Structure 1
Amino acid sequence: MAEFYDPKQIEDKFYKICEERGYFEIDGNKEIIEQNKNGKDKTFCIMMPPPNVTGVLHIGHALTFTLQDIMTRYKRMDGYKTLYQPGLDHAGIATQNVVEKQLLVQGVKKEDIGRDEFVKKVWEWKEQSGGSIVHQMRKLGITPVWSRERFTMDEGLKKAVKKAFVNLYNKGIIERNNYMINWCTHDGALSDIEVEHKEHKGKLYHLKYYFKDSDEYIVLATTRPETYFGDSAVMVNPSDERYTNLIGKKVVLPIINREIEIIADEYVDMEFGTGIVKVTPAHDLNDYEVGKRHNLEFITIFDEKGILNNECGKFAGLERLEARDIIVEELSKLGNVEKIEDYTNQVGYCYRCKNVVEPYISKQWFVKSEIADNAIKMVNEGGATFYPAHWINSFNAWMRELRDWCISRQLWWGHQIPVFYCDDCGHIWADEEDKPECCPKCQSKNFHQDPDVLDTWFSSGLWPISTLGWGNGEALKGEKWFENDLKEFYPNTMLITGFDILFFWVARMMFQSKNAVEKLPFKDIYLHALVKDKDGNKMSKSKGNVIDPLNMINEYSADILRFTLALLAVQGRDIRLSDEKLLQVRNFTNKLYNAHKYLLLKRDTFVDLKDCEMKTNLGKYLESRFQICVNEVRKNIDEYRFNDAANTIYKFLWDEFCDWGIELSKANSDSVAELGAIFKESMKLLSPFMPFLSEYLYHELSGTSLENSTSIMVSKYPKVKEVDEDTQNLFNVVIESIIAVRRAKAAVDLGNSKIDKAFVKLNDNLDINLDDYTRYINLLAKCDSISFVDKKIDNSVVDVSENLSVFIPLDGIDTSAIKTRLNSQKTKLEKEIAKLENMLNNEKFVANAPKEVIQTNKDGLNSAKEKLQKVESELRSFG
């Protein structure tokens, strides 16, 4: 037997065996399914949030997949038909950016090779990157149905996307229109949630606009002076008495000499700048609304790449941000700049390429916000439950403010919008066919398809249904596994994902799936928090604190990483991952390994717990404690309290089983075999959290190996049995006696020494007999003789606990040094108490000191008084 458990020799091997046997499949646990179905199949379905094929997984993915796999393994062992659906997302913008950069390194632009050849390059990258991601998942030990792995651009999902688009188009929920949108000059159109707003330290430019044929002027402030070419008005607040006389007058834009009118609108913040603002309806979201209210001209001043056009006079051809300083310099020469100040504001950036996003009027495809109405209503009528519960408030707040969703993207990689334009009659139609035969209106074969692709989230919003075969058409014909999927596994049982994609993905799945099949996609939605570093900092490459899950697995093990993440997964609280916590769990695995080495001494006598009637009192006690543990673990998993479930297992195995059960068994060797049976069953309880170590220890204690026997991952998860309350109560008092004797010994500096005798007086209300249990107390308290008495023992050190008192005679014990130490502690504590009381009785101190300082002193005073009482009690025990 190895001295230590080596996960590197076990984890990959065990994973491969279990996968090859089909344990991850829907019916991989068919024996338990048959035993538990009671005339009806129980099903469990959970969807993997499909990772983007743009690189490797981060530690947040590891948390998501760990929690999903814990639920899947738990349900599988509980007799459910389980579908843990794996897959990958094509990630339009991100993936195209990666491949474009790869080509540019070779000196090639995508336009040089054309759309078809570029898309081939992206598919090549997908195969490479997707393989790396799946490798990481396998190393983590997750158990999805790999045979059903999907990709958001596989043939079946392509058909589902087209079907969803055409349905929405025909209902009038999808339309093409000129709206102001978020525009990235590199990546094109973005939805609101694809824009990251960050603090930006820039400048506030105070510009002079002169009245026509006059030396008089007004001053207005702007952070984007280059946009003044698109101004179609100047605006003041109608309540601003400073400027009411200016309303209706005209000023002249410098350089280009275009006249614009001064208008009034309550939108103007009279406290911002000078209280006068420029109105650029084509390049500012708020000005866009003002422009519509006042019928202003919408003047576009740069193209889709951010290049200034002829509206900007001699500055045409410059990139909009690069032109800023050049334009300001020219305005300064002309005397149109009054001053420039440092200014900090929020600026929007593209979430992928980090380019500054521009408000831009563009003709795009939109999903109308009304698509979400029914989903919002159903959620708030109890159709879905959030964990933690407060996330429903965020969901409602965002959904009710939902704007029309821009779904067209100016990319080559993605689902090309299934809309066709007839070049002869001008008819526009949506079609599920890749290549329609002709225009449905004039039958012309002269037509073309919209070149844009759909927003990535449009396809991933269909994930709960498209992966189950909805809309897949003929693409999966002959694949019997999907024929009844919607009936069996929809709605999905639950969703587990990070809260940061609540609006990117979760909300979109809610209204996309509801619209397609008239049911919300899942009942329970568990949103976990972020994984941060040990100091609570968000992980980022710039900070150098990013954690690669593969590194953690290689250094510790998949089991240790999984269990650590589960221990830290408190609902609604960020996870602080540290080496200290991982080392704590490593120590736990060592504890379990050493426990199994001890239990192996009696392996030949082990039986399964389900067939085992405990004969020893210690066996009955630990089985009762185990049943309580099982009950708590099940309850916590069912409520998605993963940290509480893991912590319950940890405490039972470390504290109750190893620290007490094994040590107590040394006083009764007959109980070791029974403890072995309990330990084996506890490995099943641990299995969803630590699948490899639990498997290994179970087979070691069974005298088998995974290679020649069934895995515990497809055995029954422990169920709660009757608890032996009487035996449990007896052993609780035995353990309390041991602890009390140890404390009493420590009071006379005999903590590690064996003593001749000790006396235990049970409280009068305790009607039990511990005569048959003295061997346990003697062994663990290191005492030759324990006697039970009904009165106090004079001249002894005393320890009083909840149910009993312990007396250790002082005969022959030199207590002078102990008394000296205790008196010294007493003097020190009395001084501390006097000092703190004086401070707290000082009215001036109490009036001026911070509340935290006052409370700290109060807490210190109470603590010192408690310690003094204990010291005085110990001194009294010495006479």
Structure 2
Amino acid sequence: MEDIMELSKRYQPAEVEAKIHRFWEEGQFFRAATGAVSKVPFSIVIPPPNVTGRLHMGHALNNSLQDLVIRYQRMKGKEACWFPGTDHAGIATQNVVEKQLAKEGVSRHDLGREAFVQRVWDWKEKYGSEIIEQLKALGCSCDWSRQRFTLDDGLSRAVREVFVKLYNEDLIYRGAYLVNWCPRCETAVSDLEVEHEDVDGGLYYIRYPLEDGGHVIIATTRPETMLGDTAIAVNPEDARFAHLIGKNARLPILDRVLPIVGAAQVDPEFGTGVLKITPAHDPIDFEIGKAHGLASINILNGDGTINENGGPFAGMDRATAQKAVVERLKADGLLEKMVPYRHSVGHCERCSTAIEPLISTQWFVRMKEMAESAIGAVKDGRIQFIPERWSKLYFDWLEDIRDWCISRQLWWGHRIPIWYGPDDHAFAAHSDEDAAAQAETHYGRIVTLRQDEDVLDTWFSSWLWPFSIMGWPEETEDLKTFFPTDFLLTGFDILFFWVSRMIMASLHFMHEVPFKNVYITPLIVDAQGQKMSKSKGNSVDPIELMDEYGADALRLALAHATSKGRTMRTPTTQLDDARNFLNKLWNVTRFALMHLGHERPELPETIEKLEDRFILSRLSEATTTVCEHLDAYTFNLAAEAVYSFVWHDFCDWYVELIKPRLKDSPDDGVKGVLYTVLRDIIKLLHPMVPFITEEIWQVLGEEPESVCRAAYPEAGARDEDAEREMEALQEVITGIRTIRADLNVPAKAKLSATLAVSGASLVDVLKANLGAVMALTGTEDWSIGERLEAVEGSARKILSCGELFVDVADMIDVRAEKARLQAELVVVCKDLAQVTAKLANEQFLKRAPADVVEKEHGKRDEFAQKKERLEANLASLGG
């Protein structure tokens, strides 16, 4: 890299990031060694983003935090490897390409399976790397030489291996069961891929004639599904209807005989207390149907239209059929009434189409046994959830787990490795050749086989990710070195989809947990606490934020804003703070280089100056704090600690205090302290803001070649005496600045001050550093002692180290200043009374959002402090 001995005048994130990105790629600094490595390994597997994806705020948060962890561990001396990759995202990717084809007036069926799948591969090759490039722009230090794709040859082999093993263990089976069906995608989807939304509809009260006369009225939200009714149910404990059990009714329109059965699942409080039973299209009805041996009549085609079982309504779409059925019921005098009704309806998470429960022949994995092992791995501490509360949700789901429907009626994905013989005998095989060999053994001759048309659920490849990405089922060096992994960071929305299933798969096939720590990130919400989405118009594009603020500012803002809560706000304020912080870091580095030139001085053996002792002690404290928080994954507190140290201790105090010394010569050791602290700051900050710290590291010309390979700072000894003495000095300086600001003393006015200190040793410290105090406060005449009296006309301030008196009599119009302060006090008292009254109002506290209440508490504290300060200033002026 170019040897630049001077930083540009202004920090330009785009220029710096582009240059540093090239430097990292050319240097291959993120590649990890395997085999007999001397370092302790540390590994992370990336939650693979969809190839259809574009970086969103969730990605930005998750991946910037993962990168923070991997860079930190790398600098702590670990053989750190972050495995990257992307997911083929079955439904999502197929939908994207189908929409593209639709614009061309072509369907996937027009192309045929082979041509369509090739079209998807072409799309993936062209667009599938976009999110990877965006992750690189974010600064992610993955080992890009190990990048994988869930449909590549190696992972495809792992998928087939797992399917065949589970099939042979009788843990995979095929059967006709009620599934969630998406008519738009024309595939089954899992419970976890269904999003429930409240919708406005109607509750239709329909008369069902009884065979022996009379009728029962049944309420339903889906009158069209009555075409598939095969029974009526009542609760046996419901005295109103129990006498009907064993009798028959007739189905309106189709005139089918419907037996009336007793079922405890019937809620007597819903509708009329009588339930129509459609086993093929409702989960409760399906269970009742199984218990009573009822027929199941499917009335839907795969695209959601009514099939031949719908009689005169065959061929209609669902919505049209509902209207037509209602009109027919009205015409026949069988519609009692319709009342508006708001209820929850499941929708496909990919295309937002209303889901239809229907009976379909699918492939399933038996989950109960594997779930028990996964529960044990968390209960015995082999896996830790951070925050720990997520383990309860994990247990709740696994303890009530259902078998996993793994087949999807798609073309893009892992085709199910099942081949059928002439008599439909199934062979689970690794390949066409394997299936043919099994069939020849079974039949005693060569036969023609056909492979199952369905593909596997996308998550069937993703649940193998922690070990398949490392080359399993081969016994690779990566597996020996880096499995199990150390850390997983992900959102709670895929805790069940992915995290729990990875644990189950790893325990079953590797006999080890896949990772030791699982960090669940909060959901990023808008300023009103609402989940962000494009449809709401409240989503924030992180690419735009990176263009405006730079990747480092976004990373630092996210680290600062994150917490262990369920949600976090979009870090708007933190972005401005982060940008200001990086500019300050850039400018203070330029200041240091201006005085250091080509020198890179060592820390002097003897350090006597108070400010030098203080900054080295605070550096040690900051290093300890940052490391403790990064080890505990409390990222916000780590960011806060280093931010505070750099901005306040180093820039605001140390740099200002040493400016006079830097002008003097010969060097009294200050340059060695300045350089040492600056160098450690760069290393402390690197995991959080890698681009700017790498650029500064290159300018410093330090070894090793990249800061990402440098050793993370280690804390030295604390100098508590220096910190205590400096705090007294800071209090005096701040006290004078406050008096000057509060009393409107002209900025250039030279003041006289008296400091009555409690303790002779502190008198000596303050006298020894009086030059610094005078330079930073604009004062010239000082009296410092243990027992001193105030000069008449002085403003007074109580300090923890004593009493400060500043002579302002000749600097201000005391009468006018008192009047100004009194008027300001009246306004503040009014504001304080108003906010106090609001916070005493129970209705406000009950109805207002938590952030609004919190804001009002902040106002109250601010007004109370201001009131106290005004009263103190008036008192010091004799008001």
TM-score (norm 1): 0.91
The corresponding residue for 1:469 is: 471
Aligned partner of residue 270 in structure 1, secondary structure: coil
Secondary structure of 1:495 counterpart: strand
Structure 2 portions without partners, runs of 5+ = 1-6
Q: Which residue of 2 aligns with 1:228?
A: 226
Which residue of 691, 709, 718 corresponds with 1:714?
709
Q: Quickly say closer, same or farther: Cα 1:873–1:325, change in 2 above 3 A.
A: closer
* Whole-angstrom CA distance in 2 between matches of 1:865 and 1:561: 35
Aligned to 1:497: 490
Matched residue SS, 1:468: coil
Secondary structure of the 1:797 match is strand
Take 1:412 and 1:292, find their aligned partners in 2: how far apart are those partners?
32
> Is 1:769 aligned with 2:764?
yes
Q: Could you list the per-position Cα deviations for residues 337-396 of structure 1 after superposition, in whole angstroms to 9, with x for gaps in the alignment? A: 111121110001111122211111112111112221101111111121111111111111
In structure 2, the partner of 1:355 is 353
Which residue number corresponds to residue 816 of structure 1?
Answer: 815
1:757-787 CA deviation, whole Å, 9 max, x = no partner? 2122223497562122111111111111333
Distance in 2 (CA, whole Å) between partners of 1:56 and 1:849 is 44
Checking the alignment, whether the CA contact within 8 Å between 2:549 and 2:575 is kept in structure 1 is yes
For residues 781 and 67 of structure 1, the distance between their equivalents in structure 2, rounded to whole angstroms, comes to: 41
Matches within 5 A, 1:119-198: 119-185=117-183, 186-198=185-197
Task: Say whether 1:737 aligns with 2:732.
Answer: yes
Q: CA deviation at 1:832?
A: 8.8
- Per the TM alignment, residue 409 of structure 1 is displaced from its structure 2 partner at its CA by 0.8
2:529 is matched with: 536
Mapping of residues 200-215 of structure 1, within 5 Å: 200-212=199-211, 214=213
Does the alignment pair 1:632 with 2:631? no
Question: CA 1:290–1:594 in 2, change beyond 3 Å: closer, same or farther?
Answer: same
Aligned pair partner of 1:333 in 320, 331, 334: 331
Q: Kindly indicate whether residue 444 of structure 2 is the aligned counterpart of residue 454 of structure 1.
A: no
Residue 16 (structure 2) aligned to one of 10, 14, 27: 10
> Which residue is equivalent to 2:587?
594
Change over 3 Å in CA distance of 1:765–1:92 after alignment to 2: farther
The letter for the 2-side match of 1:735 is Q
Alpha-carbon spacing, 1:176–1:766, altered in 2? closer, same or farther (3 Å): farther
Instruction: Verify the 8 A CA contact 2:348 2:355 in the aligned structure 1.
Output: yes
- Looking at structure 2, the residues matched to 612 and 158 of structure 1 have their Cα atoms a distance apart, in angstroms, of 61
Which residue matches 2:689? 690
**Is the 8 Å Cα contact of residues 606 and 673 (structure 1) preserved in structure 2?**
no
Question: Aligned-pair distance for 1:442?
Answer: 2.2
1:737-756 equivalences in 2 (<5 Å): 737-750=732-745, 752-756=747-751
Matched, 1:445 2:446: yes
Query: Residues 562 and 636 of structure 2 are in contact (CA less than 8 Å); yes or no, is this contact kept in structure 1?
Result: yes
| C-alpha deviation, 1:750, in angstroms | 2.0
Conserved? CA contact 1:232–1:297, under 8 Å = yes
Q: Size of the alignment, in residue pairs?
A: 851
Separation in structure 2 between the aligned mates of residue 596 and residue 688 of structure 1, nearest angstrom:
18
Q: 2:760–2:786: 8 Å Cα contact kept in structure 1?
A: no
Report Cα offsets for 1:240-266 as digits up to 9, x if no partner: 222233232221111211111222222
| Separation in structure 1 between the aligned mates of residue 745 and residue 565 of structure 2, nearest angstrom | 47
- The AA in structure 2 aligned to 1:772 is A
Between 1:306-315 and 1:486-495, the stretch displaced more is 306-315
The CA deviation at 1:744 is: 3.4
CA-to-aligned-CA distance 1:457-497 (integer Å, 9 cap, x gap)? 010000000011111x4xxxxxxxx8222221111001011
Is 1:657 the counterpart of 2:653 in the alignment?
Answer: no
Q: Deviations over 1:155-176 (max 9, x none)?
A: 1111111111111111111111
Larger displacement relative to structure 2 (588-597 or 438-447): 438-447
* Corresponding position of 2:4: none
Question: Which amino acid counterpart does residue 778 of structure 1 have in structure 2?
Answer: M
Contact 1:52 1:90 in 2 (8 A): yes
3-state DSSP of counterpart to 1:321:
helix
1:604 paired residue number: 597
Matched, 1:22 2:15: no
> 1:441: Cα distance to partner?
1.7
Aligned-residue offset at 1:823: 4.7
Q: Which amino acid aligns with 1:760?
A: L
Find the counterpart in structure 2 of residue 779 from structure 1: 775
Counterpart CA distance in 1 for 2:712 and 2:721 is 26
Q: Is the 8 A contact 2:558 2:571 kept in 1?
A: no
Structure 2 Cα separation of the partners of residues 851 and 534 of structure 1: 19
Which one is further off, 362-371 or 804-813? Answer: 804-813
Q: Deviations over 1:735-765 (max 9, x none)?
A: 1111122233345432624334212222349
For the residue of structure 1 that corresponds to 2:433, the secondary structure is coil
Match of residue 583, structure 1, among 548, 554, 576: 576
Is 2:763–2:786's contact at 8 Å kept on the other side of the alignment?
no
Given that 1:203 and 1:342 are in contact with CA atoms closer than 8 Å, whether structure 2 keeps it comes out as yes
Cα offset, 1:868, TM superposition: 6.1
CA distance in 1, matches of 2:215, 2:653: 87
In structure 1, give the amino acid aligned to 2:754: F
Partner in structure 1 of residue 611 of structure 2: 618
Moved more, 526-535 or 869-878: 869-878
Match of 1:476 in 2: none
1:402 Cα shift? 0.9
1:66-91 CA distance string (max 9 Å, x none):
11111111111111111100101011
Q: Normalising by structure 2, what TM-score?
A: 0.91
Q: In 1, Cα distance between the equivalents of 2:847 and 2:477?
A: 66
Give how far 1:804 is off: 2.4
Q: Distance in 2 between matches of 1:863 and 1:551?
A: 35
Distance 1:13 1:867 in 2: 48
Whether the aligned pair in 1 keeps the contact of 2:751 and 2:808 (CA below 8 Å) is no
Q: 1:594 to 1:234 in 2, by over 3 A?
A: same
Identity %: 39
Give the match for residue 802 of structure 1. 800
Q: 1:74 to 1:611 in 2, by over 3 A?
A: farther
> 1:574: which partner in 2?
567
User: 2:103 corresponds to which letter in structure 1?
Assistant: V
CA distance in structure 2 between the aligned counterparts of 1:832 and 1:317, rounded to whole angstroms: 69
What is aligned with 1:479? none
Question: Partners of 2:9 and 2:156 in 1: how far apart?
Answer: 54
Q: 1:868 to 1:7 in 2, by over 3 A?
A: closer
The CA distance in 1 between the partners of 2:322 and 2:841, in whole Å, is 56
Q: Secondary structure at the match of 1:807?
A: strand
Distance 1:831 1:343 in 2: 50
CA distance in 2, matches of 1:846, 1:67: 40
- The residue that corresponds to 1:63 in the other structure is 61
Cα offset, 1:830, TM superposition: 8.0
Alpha-carbon distance between aligned partners in 2 of 1:458 and 1:158, rounded to the nearest angstrom: 11
1:307 alignment counterpart: 305
Q: Which amino acid aligns with 1:179?
A: Y
Per-residue CA distance 1:541-562 (angstroms, 9 max, x = gap): 2223332222222222111111
Note if contact 2:725-2:762 (Cα within 8 Å) is conserved in structure 1.
no
Please state how far the C-alpha of 1:605 moved relative to its aligned partner.
Answer: 6.9
**SS where residue 601 of structure 1 aligns?**
helix
Cα distance, 1:334–1:717 mapped onto 2, change above 3 Å: same
Give the Cα–Cα distance (whole angstroms) in 2 for the partners of residues 49 and 404 of structure 1. 24
Task: Name the counterpart of 1:548.
Answer: 541
Contact 1:422 / 1:428 at 8 angstroms: preserved in 2? yes
- SS at 1:347 equivalent: strand
Task: Give the aligned partner of residue 523 of structure 1.
Answer: 516
Q: Quick check: 532-541 or 768-777, which moved more?
A: 532-541
Q: Are the structure 2 counterparts of residues 489 and 334 from structure 1 closer, same or farther at C-alpha, using a change threshold of 3 Å?
A: same
Tell me the equivalent position of 1:400.
399
Q: SS of the residue aligned with 1:441?
A: helix
Greater Cα shift, 333-342 or 313-322: 313-322
CA RMSD of aligned residues (A): 3.0
Cα pair distance change 1:866/1:441, threshold 3 Å: closer
Q: Structure 1 residues 404 and 612, CA, compared in 2 at 3 Å: closer, same or farther?
A: farther
Q: Distance in 2 between matches of 1:682 and 1:228?
A: 71
Which residue of 2 is the match for residue 477 of structure 1?
none
Deviation for aligned residue 1:226: 0.9
